[in-house]
Chain A
Amino acid sequence: METSKVIHAIYTDDDVLMSAVKRVKAERYHIEEIYTPFPVHGLDKAMGLAPTRLAITAFLYGCVGLCVAVAMMNFIMIEDWPQNIGGKPSFSYIENMPAFVPIMFELTVFFAAHLMVITFYLRSRMWPFKKAENPDLRTTDDHFLMEIAVHGNETELENLLKETGAVEIKLIEKEEAH
């Protein structure tokens, strides 16, 4: 089994964390992961993470929902059994469209919302019996943890992290599970 070494640097303040991230990035170290108890505004930008494309998927899912609604009601109300219900014109879809708009709207929102949430779960690998990947329990409460891979440069990196205000620095031998 292969092992790799990572350093876990723990911070107790999000402002200190932010400046540490900027410093570490400036020194050209690769930050593997950061664990925080709450969203830190601007952290993704400081880490240089790519912007999310979740909103684009939501738009596409909404389009799917709209198509489903139109196809469904066009088949049921206009093509399959065009009854006269209370004098509503069921000769063509467009003539009776105002009555379908509430459903078109709701299905668009329904598809956009639910499929986007499911996409989010899949992309972030979250499900009910998922084993929590938490290196330090305190990161869910009031500590911030930065994980940096080491390739034989432990001492320099440890010194750098100390300078940035880390309260705890641990060298971890990580077993590659896969």
Chain B
Amino acid sequence: MYTISNKLKTFSIALIILGLLGVGYGFMTSHKSFEEVETMLAEEAPHGGGHGVATEAHVVAGDSDHSEVSHEANSHDATANAGQHVDEHAKHVEHVQHQMANRPWSALYVAAFFFFMIALGVLAFYAIQFASQSGWSPVLFRVMEGITAYVLPGGLIVLAIAIASGTIGHYNIFVWMDPEVVAHDKLLQGKASYLNIWWFAFRGLIFIAGWSLYRHFSRKFSIANDTASDNSYFKKTFRISAAFLVFFIYTESIMSWDWIMSVDPHWFSTLFGWYVFAGMAVSGITVIAFITLYLKSRGHLEIVNDSHIHDLAKFMFGFSIFWAYLWFSQFMLIWYANIPEEVTYFVTRIQDYNGLFFGMVVLNFVFPFLVLMNSDYKRIPWFVSMAGIIILVGHYVDVYVMIMPATVGDRWSIGIPEISSVMLFAGLFIFIVFSALSKAPLLVKRNPFLKESEHFHY
């Protein structure tokens, strides 16, 4: 039996408390008044003074979503133009004010989703191990079960933040939740039968319920199998895993439209669900490797040998390439055709998030590709850990670049709200996962493939 060490417990609770303080600070400081934003913009403007503000407002408001006025139509009318300057200026300030208010919400949402997707990715991986009857992984089942304990709380938190941003907050993540925006937007009206807050909440609850039910029963059967006299629990898990995988691939796809793609409700992409899944799978497998290495280094998983680590590292390598393949397929098809309604997604990302957008491709593809190619290196724990850190940072940035451009636009930065949100959910994740790990022996008993897995050698 593994027991969570006091050090780890204190560490996770400290992370949660520090994170909460930082998140609170983020929310307190993000609500700037109109005047504060106005002076801030004036200081940022190239010439300074009123003229600078007006010029910048004019330019930015011209391509912002919120301005419906075409300034060219009135450009020959001097008085109207002057009046419009004031109007656009106000609109611009409001726009920036809203973006700044969105930042702590989005930071929280990105971090919450990132840790949730790790758990969900592991759940899918776990089901695949059962459905494919793989012989190498049974010694890792308890580690995977520990990680998937985060699916239920993590999923509820993500959904709660999404809905709270539209009910408690001022539509800080999903613009389609704002009835005023929808009233002026033909496209959103057309999607309103799908994108409305109650149907969104209902769908989310169905997904979370389905995933958690599978998690609940597979865990229950796994523990019951330890003391069973025949393989009926194993067969049951096999059946529910196959059914879950079908359910998962549908719901994961829809979840990615709902929870991520709908932050840009004017944009759509067909392979988005698989793209999100690839990121999910690779970060999930990386965390399995991390926790396995941690527990092994503490002497809790002696049966795990370097061939198991090698296999996990191969999965990290393979899924990193799969992620890059989907990332590039999505990017290249849209770049090549250059259809305005689709390409804006990448235009904003390349203009405002250039370093992050391309940097994450380096982190998520180039580094793992070169670092994890050598077969010998995939067996070295510290080497796998270093590659894993790169992959996890890269996939956090991936989620960040999916959410932030739609909510805070060019007002992004990685500061206290972002880092403390990550700390908050990292603490929560560590606490829940390691508590779950300490609730059952770290090695399953009498799984039909257990002997094979114990002697697994590549």
Contact A98 B332 (CB under 8 A): yes
Instruction: Kindly supply a per-residue 1/0 record for chain B positions 325-342, scoring 1 wherever the CB is within 8 Å of any chain A CB and 0 otherwise.
Output: 000100110011010000
Q: Which residues of A contact B336 (CB under 8 A)?
A: 98-99
Q: Does A101 contact B (CB under 8 A)?
A: yes
Contact A98 B373 (CB under 8 A): no
Contact A98 B331 (CB under 8 A): yes
Q: Please, how many angstroms separate the alpha-carbon atoms of A68 and B375 in the complex?
A: 27
Q: Does A128 contact B (CB under 8 A)?
A: no
> A92-110: which have CB < 8 Å to B?
98-99, 101
Q: Shortest CB–CB separation between residue A69 and chain B, in angstroms?
A: 15
Contact A59 B373 (CB under 8 A): yes
Q: Please, how many angstroms separate the alpha-carbon atoms of A59 and B338 in the complex?
A: 35
Q: Please, how many angstroms separate the alpha-carbon atoms of A22 and B219 in the complex?
A: 45
Q: Which residues of A contact B331 (CB under 8 A)?
A: 98
Q: Shortest CB–CB separation between residue B148 and chain A, in angstroms?
A: 35
Q: Please, how many angstroms separate the alpha-carbon atoms of A55 and B338 in the complex?
A: 40
Contact B373 A101 (CB under 8 A): no
Interface centre among A55, A59, A98, A101 (most CB of B within 10 A): A98
Q: Please, how many angstroms separate the alpha-carbon atoms of A99 and B335 in the complex?
A: 9
Contact B332 A101 (CB under 8 A): yes
Q: Shortest CB–CB separation between residue A97 and chain B, in angstroms?
A: 10
Q: Shortest CB–CB separation between residue A13 and chain B, in angstroms?
A: 22
Checking B328, B338, B375 against A101 with a beta-carbon cut-off of 8 angstroms, the contacting residue is: B328
Closest residue of chain A to B334 (Cβ to Cβ) is A98
Q: Does A152 contact B (CB under 8 A)?
A: no
Q: Which residues of A contact B338 (CB under 8 A)?
A: 87
Q: Which residues of A contact B335 (CB under 8 A)?
A: 98
Q: Which residues of B contact A101 (CB under 8 A)?
A: 328, 332
Q: Shortest CB–CB separation between residue B168 and chain A, in angstroms?
A: 42
> B334-388: which have CB < 8 Å to A?
335-336, 338, 373, 375
Q: Shortest CB–CB separation between residue A101 and chain B, in angstroms?
A: 7
Q: Which residues of A contact B332 (CB under 8 A)?
A: 98-99, 101
- Chain A, interface SS category: helix
Name the interface size band of chain A. Answer: under 10
Q: Shortest CB–CB separation between residue B318 and chain A, in angstroms?
A: 15
Q: Which residues of B contact A99 (CB under 8 A)?
A: 332, 336
> B203-219: which have CB < 8 Å to A?
none
Closest residue of chain B to A59 (Cβ to Cβ) is B373
> B365-417: which have CB < 8 Å to A?
373, 375
Q: Please, how many angstroms separate the alpha-carbon atoms of A23 and B27 in the complex?
A: 74
Closest residue of chain A to B325 (Cβ to Cβ) is A105
Q: Please, how many angstroms separate the alpha-carbon atoms of A77 and B221 in the complex?
A: 60
Instruction: Kindly supply a per-residue 1/0 record for chain A positions 48-86, scoring 1 wherever the CB is within 8 Å of any chain B CB and 0 otherwise.
Output: 000000010001000000000000000000000000000
Closest residue of chain A to B335 (Cβ to Cβ) is A98
Q: Which residues of A contact B328 (CB under 8 A)?
A: 98, 101
Instruction: Kindly supply a per-residue 1/0 record for chain A positions 106-128, scoring 1 wherever the CB is within 8 Å of any chain B CB and 0 otherwise.
Output: 00000000000000000000000
Closest residue of chain A to B333 (Cβ to Cβ) is A98
Q: Please, how many angstroms separate the alpha-carbon atoms of A55 and B378 in the complex?
A: 15
Q: Shortest CB–CB separation between residue B317 and chain A, in angstroms?
A: 14
Q: Shortest CB–CB separation between residue B457 and chain A, in angstroms?
A: 10
Q: Shortest CB–CB separation between residue A108 and chain B, in angstroms?
A: 12
Q: Shortest CB–CB separation between residue B335 and chain A, in angstroms?
A: 5
Q: Shortest CB–CB separation between residue B370 and chain A, in angstroms?
A: 10
Closest residue of chain B to A99 (Cβ to Cβ) is B336
Q: Shortest CB–CB separation between residue B354 and chain A, in angstroms?
A: 13
Q: Which residues of B contact A59 (CB under 8 A)?
A: 373
Q: Please, how many angstroms separate the alpha-carbon atoms of A55 and B335 in the complex?
A: 35
Q: Which residues of B contact A87 (CB under 8 A)?
A: 338
Closest residue of chain B to A88 (Cβ to Cβ) is B336
Q: Shortest CB–CB separation between residue A119 and chain B, in angstroms?
A: 18
Closest residue of chain A to B375 (Cβ to Cβ) is A55
Q: Shortest CB–CB separation between residue B307 and chain A, in angstroms?
A: 14
Q: Shortest CB–CB separation between residue B170 and chain A, in angstroms?
A: 38
Q: Please, how many angstroms separate the alpha-carbon atoms of A172 and B121 in the complex?
A: 62
Q: Please, how many angstroms separate the alpha-carbon atoms of A98 and B333 in the complex?
A: 9
> B283-328: which have CB < 8 Å to A?
328
Q: Please, how many angstroms separate the alpha-carbon atoms of A99 and B373 in the complex?
A: 26
Q: Please, how many angstroms separate the alpha-carbon atoms of A99 and B331 in the complex?
A: 11
Q: Please, how many angstroms separate the alpha-carbon atoms of A101 and B331 in the complex?
A: 12
Q: Which residues of B contact A55 (CB under 8 A)?
A: 375
Q: Shortest CB–CB separation between residue B412 and chain A, in angstroms?
A: 24
Give the interface of B toward A (CB within 8 A): 328, 331-332, 335-336, 338, 373, 375
Give the interface of A toward B (CB within 8 A): 55, 59, 87, 98-99, 101
Beyond A55-B375, A98-B332, A101-B328, 9 additional pairs, beta carbon < 8 A:
A59-B373, A87-B338, A98-B328, A98-B331, A98-B335, A98-B336, A99-B332, A99-B336, A101-B332
A-B contact pairs, 11 of them (CB 8 A): A55-B375, A87-B338, A98-B328, A98-B331, A98-B332, A98-B335, A98-B336, A99-B332, A99-B336, A101-B328, A101-B332
